[in-house]
Amino acid sequence: MRILIISDVHANLPALEAVLAAAAPFDSVWCLGDLVDYGPDPNECVERIRDLPNLTCITGNHEAAVLNLLAVESFNGDARKSALWTANALTERNKHFLLNLPETAVVDHVTLVHGSPRFPVWEYILDTQTAAENYHYFETPNCFVGHSHVPLMFWKKGKEPGVDWLILKDQVVLQLEGKSILNPGSVGQPRDGDSRASFAIYEPETSTWQQYRVEYDIRAVQKRIRDAGLPHNHANRLSSGS
């Protein structure tokens, strides 16, 4: 079984479509939150993801913000402006879909969260100390997270106290052993210095994770972000992946 792992689409439909085309064929999709905000296509992305086969989707902090479940004052100025625009743009049907997404899911012996198993909506796992602290908060062999927009793996073997880590590059194939935390990176707003959309394929039968990147028409998305009156910074950073 090929399971497509995506996160942080952020209303970037061309990036999402490029990922779906590059990843095919796949049997299921696990989406790790932040479908909306920053980009110009919140409704289109929600609807496209909602109709994917065998979908498991969880909520992220940007869903919480646009649904008034998280104070937008916790965001910076550009993010607040984008969240308010997105809240106004979303249809009631799509808001209902987002409102019913869980914060945590366990599927096929994998824990799925947006931020971390300790704080599912908000916490970033970007260092070994934070990763080590979070190992106490999930019981499955693996935990898949998003939120940081950086493709990363943290792992430990047995009862060893230390946690190792690795930045995941394009075409990397990993044999998962021990207890791991993995992040597929961001589809719509990469922030690891690579502007290409990021995703992964997980195969539970062989316990393998395959990391991928795919190009899409960044300039077209940047123009539509600016034309929509969204913050230019959210358009500019697409070029650098930062």
- Cα separation, 130 vs 209, in Å, equals 22
Residues 6+ apart with CB under 8 A from 117: 104, 111, 134, 137, 138, 143, 145
- Cα separation, 124 vs 116, in Å, equals 7
Q: How do the pLDDT tens digits run along the chain, 242 residues long?
A: 999 999 999 999 999 999 999 999 999 999 999 999 999 999 999 999 999 999 999 999 999 999 988 777 777 788 889 999 999 999 999 999 999 999 999 999 999 999 999 999 999 999 999 999 999 999 999 999 999 999 999 998 767 778 999 999 999 999 998 899 999 999 999 999 999 999 999 999 999 999 999 999 999 999 999 999 999 999 999 999 98
The CATH number corresponding to 3-209 among 3.60.21.10, 1.10.3720.10, 2.60.200.20, 3.40.630.30 equals 3.60.21.10
pLDDT for residue 79: 86
pLDDT for residue 89: 97
The residue type at 162? G
Nearest CA-CA partner of 153 in 189, 183, 123 = 183
135 contacts 163 by C-beta, under 8 angstroms: yes
Residues 6+ apart with CB under 8 A from 183: 7, 125, 144, 145, 146, 147, 148, 150, 151, 152, 153, 168
50 contacts 85 by C-beta, under 8 angstroms: no
197: exposed, middle or buried (C-beta count within 10 Å: 0-12, 13-18, 19+)? Answer: buried
- Cα separation, 86 vs 61, in Å, equals 13
23 contacts 212 by C-beta, under 8 angstroms: yes
